[in-house]
Amino acid sequence: MDWFYIKGILILSGINLMAVLGLSLLTGFTGLFSFGHAGFMAIGGYVTAVGTMKLGLPFVPSLLMGAAGAALASFFIGKITLNLKGDYFCIATLGFGEAIRLVLDNVQYFGGARGWPGIPVTTDLTTVVIIDIIGVIILANLINSRHGRNFKAIREEELASQTIGINVFRYKMTALMISAAYAGVAGGMLGHLLGFLQPKMFQFVKSTELTITVIFGGLGSISGSVIGALVLTSLPEILRTFAIWRLVVYGAAVVFIMISRPQGLMGGYEITFGNIKKLLSRFAYGKKPAAGGDKQ
Amino acid sequence: MSGFLQQLINGLSIGSVYALMAVGYSLVYSIMNFSNFAHGGVIMIGSYIGFFAMTAFDLPFATAFCTAALGTGLLAVLIERVAYSPLRRRNAPFLYFIISAMGISIFLENIIIASPIGPTFRTYPRVFGMEPFKIGGVNIGRLDVMMFVISTISLIILVFIIEKTRTGMGIRASAYNLKASALMGVNTDRIILIVFGLGGLLAGIAGVLFGMKYTVYPQIGNITLKSFIAAVFGGLGSLPGAVIGSVLLGIIETFTSGYLSSQFRDLIAFVLLIFILVVRPRGLMGKTTEDKA
């Protein structure tokens, strides 16, 4: 277990975290389920690589370009799918995610299905950590704002929020675009970590993995998403000795979580300084505070 | 012209097997209102049961076929009991069902890879012989004909069960309104088990047929993505819609790979899905989408 190996896992967790944060806004706070976010990661990854390799831009502006590209794609997808409900939206996003991948498979400009090698390896731990922190701060501020409360209102009761004057479609669109932009940044960082992009990396399974991570951490909790991404990315590495059995355990664990603790690890609670203080004072004085945490 | 007919027949035979999968999936959807993503795993297991019954145990095709169908029927019921019924009792939102189904699907696929069976591709022994039927210059593969015949018979039996028996009436009532039929004295718990069992039986049949048409491998369940498309195409929850959607999808796919390029086959399928969702989200035969929240 040398530092190089651990650093690799941390970078990968950080990249997954970025995508999971975006999906957390869409799924955990707005109540929309997407099985196509790997497609947005793919768009982000390819657009970022175009920025650095074809246009000769520096890494960070290219990342922003990738985020914008993914958000733009999600705008068009949202325009036609956000009016669909429940399962239809899930299946529509699934279709779009797969379609994006299959289109990339056939675009020879990006190397098609064989992939695109030779991308400069610029993603390092510092960059990932800084971008993640920025991502968390933006998301936390958004959630605690007036807009954040509107997102949660839509999650809880769509019809009622529409009745009190929340523009449901616009808020859903905002959530989708922001989450796509986060996924795009994650895709861009992934491409510039591996130095290689291939449509196969962004299969349906990847989207499922992201959604499972959000649920594992707990719907409606940013700290849950952070912990979920860290745990679920490093767990397969820790279980490396079990090799092929780890995914069996993983599948069983997902079912087990759904059955036994569907609210996820954090269950809508957040780790904030205020909550930690409350928890500590409970231990110190031995009395029960009125509420255990910031239930959302 | 003969080329055209040949493609059409190939499309029909593939489409009829898609229909087996899509109907099983749609049946569960019509009652439980969630996408059973574990269906692919069940199909894969059926494919393996059929394969080992024929190779390792030397059973004749008919016996192996029935073993596979029964095995997957039981498996589907077991999955319902383990992964869905605890959620059902808690009235969990549909997304928990979907995630649970995903977990089952990951579990089934990887337990095959991890077990001694391993990730290798296996070929079914030939049952129906090689030489094709020749009708007026059109060559029709024996397997394609058998796929079409077996699927059609299975679907006819299913329609009979749903339309003519007392249990079938319970299924139809539950699909219309689960809570109301429970209040009217339908044992909905039993109906749900039966629906999963029926879906499992069809999945096993589809698994064996797909295993014979292609090969058997742990990811063969991914082919159900096509049946989801077909089900949406025909209208989620509608059985005639699922059949029509599947047959159309099968024909469109074979024509795409025959006249354009097999590379575009999957792309066309997903583009079709998106097109349907944009133009007519309730599909060809579906109920309105309003109450599917």
The predicted pLDDT at position A186 comes to 94
Q: Where is average pLDDT lowest: A214-218, B52-56, B144-148, B284-288?
A: B284-288
Residue numbers in B near A255 (CB within 8 A): 82-83, 100, 103-104, 107
Q: Which residue of B has its CA nearest to A254?
A: B103
Closest Cα in chain B, distance from residue A11 (Å): 25
Residue B63 lies in a domain: yes
Q: Kindly tell me if the per-residue pLDDT of B127 is higher than 80.
A: no
Closest Cα in chain B, distance from residue A99 (Å): 6
Residue numbers in A near B100 (CB within 8 A): 254-255, 258-259
The predicted pLDDT at position A176 comes to 93
**Closest CB from B35, B86, B100 relative to A87:** B35
**Closest CB from B82, B83, B289 relative to A85:** B289
Across the interface, do B106 and A204 touch by the CB < 8 Å criterion? no
Residue numbers in A near B92 (CB within 8 A): 258, 262
- Enumerate long-range contacts of B132-139, CB under 8 Å, 24 or more apart: B136/B2, B137/B2, B138/B2, B138/B5, B138/B6, B138/B9, B139/B6
Q: Kindly tell me if the per-residue pLDDT of B232 is higher than 80.
A: yes
Across the interface, do A87 and B292 touch by the CB < 8 Å criterion? yes
Q: Which residue of B has its CA nearest to A34?
A: B95
Across the interface, do A259 and B228 touch by the CB < 8 Å criterion? no
- DSSP symbol at B115: S
Determine the Cα–Cα distance for residues B160 and B157; give it in Å rounded to an integer.
5
Disruptive mutation site among A27, A82, A85, A87 for chain B (greatest number of B CBs within 10 Å): A87
Q: Kindly tell me if the per-residue pLDDT of B70 is higher than 90.
A: yes
**Closest CB from A33, A96, A255 relative to B95:** A33
Residue numbers in A near B94 (CB within 8 A): 86-87
Neighbours of A147 (CB within 10 A): 15
- Dihedral, A138, A141, A146, A148 alpha carbons, nearest 10: 70
Determine the Cα–Cα distance for residues B151 and B20; give it in Å rounded to an integer.
6
Neighbours of B63 (CB within 10 A): 13
For residues B191 and A110, the model is more confident at: B191
Determine the Cα–Cα distance for residues A155 and A202; give it in Å rounded to an integer.
28
CATH number of the domain at B94, please.
Answer: 1.10.3470
A178 touches chain B (CB under 8 A): no
B268 touches chain A (CB under 8 A): no
What is the pLDDT of chain A when averaged over all its residues?
A: 84
Neighbours of B156 (CB within 10 A): 10
The predicted pLDDT at position A9 comes to 87
* Number of residues that this document lists for chain B: 293
User: And the tokens for B79?
Assistant: 């999955």
Domain that holds residue B173: 2-119+140-279
Residue numbers in B near A39 (CB within 8 A): none
Low-confidence stretches of chain A (pLDDT beneath 70):
1, 86, 240-243, 262, 267-268, 286-296
Q: Kindly tell me if the per-residue pLDDT of B263 is higher than 80.
A: no
Write the pLDDT tens digit of every residue in A170-224: 999 999 999 999 999 999 999 999 888 888 888 888 888 888 888 888 888 888 8
Determine the Cα–Cα distance for residues B27 and A214; give it in Å rounded to an integer.
29
Across the interface, do B293 and A95 touch by the CB < 8 Å criterion? no
A143 touches chain B (CB under 8 A): no
Identify the helix (H) or strand (E) that includes residue A85.
none
The predicted pLDDT at position A291 comes to 46
Q: How many domains does chain B have?
A: 1
Residue found by looking up tokens 């664990």 in the block: A253
**Which backbone phi and psi does B169 adopt, to 5 degrees?**
-65, -40
CB B104 within 8 A of CB B83: yes
**Closest CB from A87, A251, A258 relative to B107:** A251
Interface contacts A/B by beta carbons within 8 Å: 133
Residue B135 lies in a domain: no
Determine the Cα–Cα distance for residues B263 and A95; give it in Å rounded to an integer.
17
Q: Which residues contact A174 (CB under 8 A, 6 or more apart)?
A: A147
DSSP result, B163-187: HHSHHHHHHHHHHH-HHHHHHTT--
Write the pLDDT tens digit of every residue in B43-59: 999 999 999 998 888 88
Of B264, B270, B231, nearest in space to A36 by CA: B270
Across A17-31, b (16+ Cβ under 10 Å) vs e yields bbbbbbbbbbbbbbb
Q: B281: pLDDT confidence band, cut at 50, 70 and 90?
A: confident
Determine the Cα–Cα distance for residues A192 and A60; give it in Å rounded to an integer.
11
A160 touches chain B (CB under 8 A): no
**Closest CB from A87, A248, A262 relative to B34:** A87
Write the pLDDT tens digit of every residue in A279-293: 777 777 765 544 444
Q: Which residue of B has its CA nearest to A247?
A: B110
Determine the Cα–Cα distance for residues A169 and A164; give it in Å rounded to an integer.
14
The predicted pLDDT at position B288 comes to 54
Q: Which residue of B has its CA nearest to A214?
A: B99
Q: Which residues contact B208 (CB under 8 A, 6 or more apart)?
A: B46, B47, B50, B64, B65, B68, B69
**Closest CB from B105, B111, B232 relative to A91:** B232
Determine the Cα–Cα distance for residues A6 and A25; give it in Å rounded to an integer.
28
B96 touches chain A (CB under 8 A): yes
A96 touches chain B (CB under 8 A): yes
Determine the Cα–Cα distance for residues A259 and A133; give it in Å rounded to an integer.
33
A79 touches chain B (CB under 8 A): no
Residue B35 lies in a domain: yes
The predicted pLDDT at position B239 comes to 84
Determine the Cα–Cα distance for residues A240 and A246; give it in Å rounded to an integer.
7
A24 touches chain B (CB under 8 A): no
- DSSP symbol at B122: B
Residue B183 lies in a domain: yes
Domain ranges of chain A: 3-203
Residue numbers in B near A92 (CB within 8 A): 273-274, 277
Residue numbers in A near B242 (CB within 8 A): none
Q: B177: pLDDT confidence band, cut at 50, 70 and 90?
A: confident
Q: B205: pLDDT confidence band, cut at 50, 70 and 90?
A: very high
Across the interface, do B100 and A86 touch by the CB < 8 Å criterion? no
**Which backbone phi and psi does A38 adopt, to 5 degrees?**
-60, -35
Determine the Cα–Cα distance for residues B44 and A103; give it in Å rounded to an integer.
27
Closest Cα in chain A, distance from residue B61 (Å): 31
Q: Which residues contact A246 (CB under 8 A, 6 or more apart)?
A: A235, A236, A239, A240
Q: Which residue of A has its CA nearest to B119?
A: A244
Across the interface, do A251 and B281 touch by the CB < 8 Å criterion? no
